[in-house]
Amino acid sequence: MSYAGDRLIHDADSHLMETADCLDSYLEARLRERLHERPQYRALSAQQAKAVAAAKDHHADPDFRAAANENVMLRKNYDAHGAFIPADRSEALDYMGFASQLVFTTFCLGNFGLDQSDDMELCYAAASAHNRMMTDFCAVDRRLLATAYVPLEDFDRARACAEEAIRLGAKGLMVPSKCPQAHSPSHVGLDPLWALAQEAGLPVLFHVGGEEKVNPVYKENGLPPVPDFHGGDDNFTSVSYMPIPEAVMQTAATLIFDGVFDRFPALKWGAIELGANWLPGWMRAMDSAAHAFMRNEERLQRLSAKPSEIVRRQFRAAPYPHEDAGWIIANAGPEVAMFSSDFPHIEGGRNPCKRFDESLRDTPARAVDRFYRDNFVDMMGAGLAPELRRPGQVSAA
């Protein structure tokens, strides 16, 4: 029996745990050297070294591998079955029993700060290398849905990057929630990008890693340092957790107010690993803003519906397992929330289904089905093969 049992569940968030050389074969030498010189790249690579070496030894051990099924939700990061070996990932998905799984990067989240640099050649080269690496990894199994990264800094390059990613077989286009350096994410110069995604029937996705980080001065409180979620001192604490959804709230609101959602009414958007407790208040705040400013802003007068209704029509989000998904659904509507495991990251926990089930205990059965299945199917559109949407045994064949 798989982890999911006999339930049909689609997983809106999982990760590849890349090694530091993951992009090297996809970059020409001069660009590879420039990327390796980036401080963000060097810092991430140094963090990986010991964990990757130990994990490679583990995955070569027959006894370790023999226990993969029973430990599929227990082993985390590089020790997880399928963390970085493609064939193992297909087996891991069998053990988990999810009908499909969106796959995001880990090492390349944030594009090494290149979007905020003045090196647009390397920015888009790194994104393209990431996209080829991700689609190659996921090609082993049709249930693994590769996400591609598209920087929004340059209009023409953004479209070309997305065109290549779609041609490679990407099933979702990830964009940063952080505002580009010189223009709004709602700029009409990006309309060809959104048109391309809508025509392909693929969602545009925001994911944690592309947001504004907490101001580090908040850590200067005169008290001893606080260990982070992973036991270190520089990643994920209660204070740095708080601003995670701020950028996506601002960016998505701007896209709605400036009419991007209405100009592309068939385009679906997703907020992944950004939590969802903020959804009800954000939707109400947008409705309030639209009401308050409508008399003076023609753009608001042209909206096809209230912002909250546009959200229910086109926007989906994946709550963290520690959030009350039932409360989110009750206050945001049954159309928005989706299940995610965050496999194999520690943050996803060892039993996300149990935690979500507990919070959904008083939620109507139809809304629960939408949470585990239908909202994801709706968001993915053509990115999810029709045969993967149906109940029943799903295999890699």
Give CA–CA dist 224/308, Å, rounded.
42
Beta bridge partners of 145: 102
Query: Would you place residue 230 in the very low, low, confident or very high pLDDT band (cuts 50, 70, 90)?
Result: low
pLDDT class of 231 with cuts at 50, 70, 90: low
Average pLDDT over residues 108-114: 96
Residue 301 CA, distance from chain mean position: 32
Over residues 97-125, the mean pLDDT reads: 97
- 126-139 pLDDT per residue, tens: 999 999 999 999 99
What is the DSSP code (8-state) at residue 11? E
- Phi (first) and psi of residue 205, to 5 degrees: -120, 135
Query: Rounded to whole angstroms, how far apart are CA atoms 175 and 108?
Result: 13
How far from 147 is each of 6, 91, 132, 204, 341, CA to CA, in Å?
A: 27, 20, 10, 10, 16
Residue 113 DSSP class: G
Q: What is the pLDDT of residues 177-217, one digit of tens each?
A: 999 999 999 999 999 999 999 999 999 999 999 888 889 89
pTM (2 decimals)?
A: 0.95
Rounded Cα gap, residues 100 and 95, in angstroms: 12
Ordered by where they begin, the domains of the chain are 10-384 (3.20.20.140)
DSSP symbol at 337: B
**pLDDT attached to residue 210:** 86
For residue 88, count CB atoms less than 10 angstroms from its CB and return exposed for 0-12, middle for 13-18, buried for 19 or more. middle
| Residue listed under structure tokens 């905020």 | 116
49 vs 276, more confident: 276
Nearest by Cα to 375 from 345, 327, 334: 334
What token pair was written down for 388?
A: 């993967």
pLDDT at 277 over 90: yes
Strand 144-149 to strand 172-174: parallel, antiparallel, or no bridges (unpaired)? parallel
Say if residues 204 and 178 touch (Cβ distance below 8 Å).
no
SS (H, E, C) 340-374: CCCECCHHHCCCHHHHHHHHCCCCCHHHHHHHHHH
pLDDT per residue over 318-332, tens digit each? 999 999 999 999 999
